[in-house]
């Protein structure tokens, strides 16, 4: 009986370990546009953030990404929502190491900016969250 219990416990531990990291992970960032610099903010994200995600997608470092922009004149706490989706927590954990060479090779001189306006003059990072997917259409 004890041998059977130990076998069942061992099986549970193995199943639990192999299941770790298998849930999809999303990183969500909320950004507020400052000083009425909407064009600069959109240029920045389209020419940097999106470019980096496209490269990461091609390399299999991420599953997908989305960039949402609030309609002009909306009274929200944020104007831009950035979502990067990872296959699992392992892929997310490796994201910094995976993105570093992409950023270095794509923008070795730093991010592309519009009108020489510095990033801190047109965007404010409101919050970030790492989330597990609970439900999805797939």
How far apart are the C-alpha atoms of 110 and 103, rounded to whole Å?
A: 8
pLDDT, averaged per 10 consecutive residues of the chain (138 residues), comes to 41 41 91 96 98 98 97 88 97 97 95 93 96 80
Total-model pTM = 0.81
Residue-range domains of the chain with CATH: 22-132 (3.30.70.100)
pLDDT for the residue 136: 73
Which stretches of the chain are DSSP H helices? 2-19, 38-44, 50-59, 89-93, 95-106
Could you give the count of Cα atoms lying within 13 Å of 93 in the half-sphere of its Cβ?
Answer: 7
How far apart are the C-alpha atoms of 49 and 46, rounded to whole Å?
A: 6
């Amino acid at each position: 009986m004890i041998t059977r219990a130990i076998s069942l416990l061992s099986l549970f531990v193995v199943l639990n370990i192999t299941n770790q990291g298998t849930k999809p992970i999303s990183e969500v960032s909320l950004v507020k546009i400052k000083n009425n610099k909407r064009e600069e903010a959109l240029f920045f994200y389209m020419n940097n953030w999106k470019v980096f995600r496209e490269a990461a997608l091609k390399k299999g470092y991420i599953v997908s990404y989305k960039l949402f922009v609030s309609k002009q004149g909306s009274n929200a706490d944020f104007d831009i929502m950035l979502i990067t989706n990872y296959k699992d927590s392992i892929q997310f954990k490796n994201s910094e190491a995976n993105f570093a060479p992409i950023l270095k090779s794509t923008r070795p001189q730093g991010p592309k900016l519009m009108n020489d306006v510095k990033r801190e003059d047109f965007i404010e990072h409101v919050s970030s969250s790492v989330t597990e997917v609970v439900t999805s259409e797939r």
